[in-house]
Structure 1
Amino acid sequence: MNIADIAVPEYVEVDVDERLAKVRSLFDRENPKGIIVTEDGDYAGVVGEKQLIRSRMGDDTKVSAVMKPAPEIALREDIREAARLLIEGNVKIAPVYDGEKLDGIITEDAILEAVIDSFDANTVEQVYTADVVTIGEKEHVGQAINRLRKHGISRLPVLNENGSLTGVVTTNDIVDFVVRDQDRQGSGDRAGDIDRMLDLPVYDLMSSPALTARTDETTKAALERMFDNNVAGLVVTPNDEDTVTGIITKTDILRSLTFTEEESMDVQITNIELLDTISRDHVIESIQDVTNKYGKMQVFHAHVRLQEHKEKLRGTPLIQCQIRLRTSKGQVIGTGEGYGAEHGFHVALDKLERNVLELKGVNADEKYRGQLLRKIGEL
């Protein structure tokens, strides 16, 4: 299946020098799925609505300051490859080309809606993110913002003093609150207002009750709940308990679309442009060297996520790297930081190997390997 039938032909195009005031008005007036940014008539990047909302830059700022690079995808590209390109580019939309001609855009939602019936082949437990970051009800909004930024995530399950799930706070919740407050208060000296907002307890901003997914339900059911409630993720709980197990997002489900039945391990790298002195092949070979030491553990998929921090050492940025393996015994994760992608990756790889050692002796279990791929082939 390719993306020709699901690419969105309607898109808005602006120049890199266009002011954000104009771009925001375009979203309000035309409600596009995304905006294509060009420079001298050539494609330069994309801007999504949430990306624009989260930016608190002034109206006179040029759109080039908030646009993101996105991969150019061929109109007849296989849908799984298109999904991989979106994930590795860490974007929700990308331009679609018919030869040399810009034909439209493809979105994460369009791909997921097109193959939603195929997601009854596996369960939430098989694709969710287990390394969940949480926050307490009484912790402050400023702490929530710092935690979201540090971990490069967009939502935090909120726990009460007993450790039970009571809500969720997202980047959008915080941005919406700030926008509402500014609209109500008007312009002027905002320093005091900002301090007041940062000191508010998370309880005042969180959405409650949190939308959840059970570990044993299908990813199709979870995805339908996301679409029905216009959210990008759900808190994962075991059965009907209020204990937080993890998070499942649209991107997690999109990633499962790329799982293959090939002998070589499937590896995805988010923010692949941050690789500096190492190559994609080196990353794959290094992970395989670790996993091949433990023949009794079946590895289905590896996801490497790179995140750049502002801190630098002699011009080299601090890079956080997370390596996540989906195996026959569940998820194994290694996280590390270093100056430059190579350093950060190898710190994470060492941590991953130590964690893999804890799974030695496990039995391979292929009960869901290839199920999704076969379902897609039937569409």
Structure 2
Amino acid sequence: MDIADIATSEYVAVDADQRLGKVRSIFERDNPKGIIVTEDGEYAGIITQKQLVQSHVEDNAKAQALTRSAPKVNRTDDVREVARVLVEGNSKLAPVFESDRLWGIVTEDAILEAVLENLDALDVEEIYTTDVVTVTEKTHIGQAINHFREHGISRLPVLDEDGYLSGMVTTYDIVEVVVRDMNKSTRGERAGDMDRILDIPVYDVMSSPVATTSYEESVREAVSRMLDNDYAGLVVTPEADDRMVAGIITKTDVLRALTFTEEDHMDVQITNINLLDTISREEIRQRIEEVADKYQQMQVQHAHVRFHEHKEKMRGTPLIQCQIRLRTNKGQAAGSGEGYGADSAFRVAIDKLERNVLELKGVLADEEYRGQLLRKLGEL
């Protein structure tokens, strides 16, 4: 299927000179996946909701201050390749070009709707994310925003004082309360109002009850619920207790699954691939395969490597966080680390991954041993 079948020429666009206050109000009113920014009538880039929440740029600044590039695709590109481009570019939409001219956009929702009937082949358990960042009901909005920045995420499950799932707070929830309160204030009052907003507990802005799914549900059913209710993700809970947070499945997880291949070598997907400096995709793949090859019974079906840039720098080199997640026939394994430059961060993360894989292998071995003992006892 070509992307031309699902791309659209209808999109929200603003001029690079437009004030960010106006851009924020567009997100609140229309809830787009992103906004196309033009300059002198030509495509300049995009602005996403996540950028607005994570930025300290004031409302009176121009849109160009937050404009960033997005992965460009052609109308004839394959849907699977576009899914990969969106994931690796950490983007919810991509501008679609035809003969070097901006024709329209394609969003993650459009892709998921197009492939929905094919998602029955997967269960949530096969692709969900186990490493979940959570907050409590007393966590302040300012602290939640720091989590969004630090981990490059857009939603946080909220737990009550007993550690049970209580709600969900997203970047959209925060944008909504900020725009609403800022619209009530004059310019001179806004600095104080922003401080007050940052001190509000997430309990006051979170959504509740929380939309959940279980391990056994098909990905098609989960995605249908996301699309019908405009959810970006669902909390994964054990079948026996929907108050516990076992993981989360997002639209990005599903897009990533669409790119899985049946090639001879491991399929490795990299998010924010533009941050790679002295290390290549091939070197990353080879190093992960070396770890996997040490444990012959553990077959890696897919690897996801995510890089996230912090503002801190050393001699011009940014502090990078690297997260590695493996989907294997023995379950999921993960490792993360930080370093100055992508190469350094990856090396720390791969070392942590290897330790975690070894621990997982040990746990599985213990379970097998216990199973053998029980079978022998049953034969006595």
| Normalised-by-shorter TM-score class | 0.7 to 0.9
- Does structure 2 conserve the Cα–Cα contact (< 8 Å) formed by 1:94 and 1:107? yes
Superposition deviation, residue 10 in structure 1: 2.2
1:312 aligned onto 2:313: yes
Residues in 2 aligned to 1:90 and 1:282: alpha-carbon distance in whole angstroms: 21
Structure ranking higher in helix proportion: 2
Residues in 1 aligned to 2:105 and 2:56: alpha-carbon distance in whole angstroms: 25
Look up the equivalent residue of 1:190 and give its one-letter code: R
Task: Name the residue aligned to 1:350.
Answer: 351
After TM superposition, the structure 1 = structure 2 runs for residues 114-263 of structure 1, keeping only pairs within 5 Å, are 114-239=114-239, 241=241, 242-263=243-264
Cα distance per residue 1:96-128 (max 9 Å; x no partner): 223333322111111011001111111111111
- Does structure 2 conserve the Cα–Cα contact (< 8 Å) formed by 1:15 and 1:39? yes
Task: Name the residue aligned to 1:100.
Answer: 100
Residues in 2 aligned to 1:216 and 1:333: alpha-carbon distance in whole angstroms: 22
Residues in 1 aligned to 2:158 and 2:12: alpha-carbon distance in whole angstroms: 37
Task: Name the residue aligned to 1:75.
Answer: 75
Q: Kindly tell me: are residues 233 and 347 of structure 1, through their superposed partners in 2, closer, same or farther at Cα, counting changes over 3 Å?
A: same
Look up the equivalent residue of 2:196 and give its one-letter code: R
Look up the equivalent residue of 2:36 and give its one-letter code: I
Superposition deviation, residue 286 in structure 1: 1.4
1:273 aligned onto 2:251: no
SS of 2:226's equivalent?
A: helix
Q: Kindly tell me: are residues 72 and 145 of structure 1, through their superposed partners in 2, closer, same or farther at Cα, counting changes over 3 Å?
A: closer
Residues in 1 aligned to 2:262 and 2:21: alpha-carbon distance in whole angstroms: 48
- Does structure 1 conserve the Cα–Cα contact (< 8 Å) formed by 2:24 and 2:52? yes
- Does structure 2 conserve the Cα–Cα contact (< 8 Å) formed by 1:48 and 1:93? no
SS of 2:67's equivalent?
A: coil
SS of 1:94's equivalent?
A: strand
Look up the equivalent residue of 1:131 and give its one-letter code: D
Structure 2 gap segments, 5+ residues each = 366-380
Query: Cα RMSD over matched residues?
Result: 2.5
Residues in 2 aligned to 1:4 and 1:177: alpha-carbon distance in whole angstroms: 37
Residues in 2 aligned to 1:283 and 1:272: alpha-carbon distance in whole angstroms: 11
Task: Name the residue aligned to 1:89.
Answer: 89
Q: Kindly tell me: are residues 195 and 25 of structure 1, through their superposed partners in 2, closer, same or farther at Cα, counting changes over 3 Å?
A: closer
Cα distance per residue 1:299-343 (max 9 Å; x no partner): 111111111111111211110000111111111101000011110
Residues in 2 aligned to 1:13 and 1:200: alpha-carbon distance in whole angstroms: 32
1:330 aligned onto 2:331: yes
Residues in 1 aligned to 2:200 and 2:20: alpha-carbon distance in whole angstroms: 29
- Does structure 1 conserve the Cα–Cα contact (< 8 Å) formed by 2:138 and 2:201? yes
- TM, length-normalised to structure 1: 0.87
Superposition deviation, residue 28 in structure 1: 8.5
Residues in 1 aligned to 2:191 and 2:20: alpha-carbon distance in whole angstroms: 23
Residues in 1 aligned to 2:315 and 2:351: alpha-carbon distance in whole angstroms: 25
Q: Kindly tell me: are residues 62 and 226 of structure 1, through their superposed partners in 2, closer, same or farther at Cα, counting changes over 3 Å?
A: same
Structure 1 gap segments, 5+ residues each = 364-379
Superposition deviation, residue 192 in structure 1: 3.6
- TM, length-normalised to structure 2: 0.87
Number of matched pairs:
363
Look up the equivalent residue of 1:202 and give its one-letter code: V
Percentage identity across paired residues of the two chains: 63
Q: Kindly tell me: are residues 248 and 317 of structure 1, through their superposed partners in 2, closer, same or farther at Cα, counting changes over 3 Å?
A: same
Task: Name the residue aligned to 1:7.
Answer: 7
SS of 1:263's equivalent?
A: coil
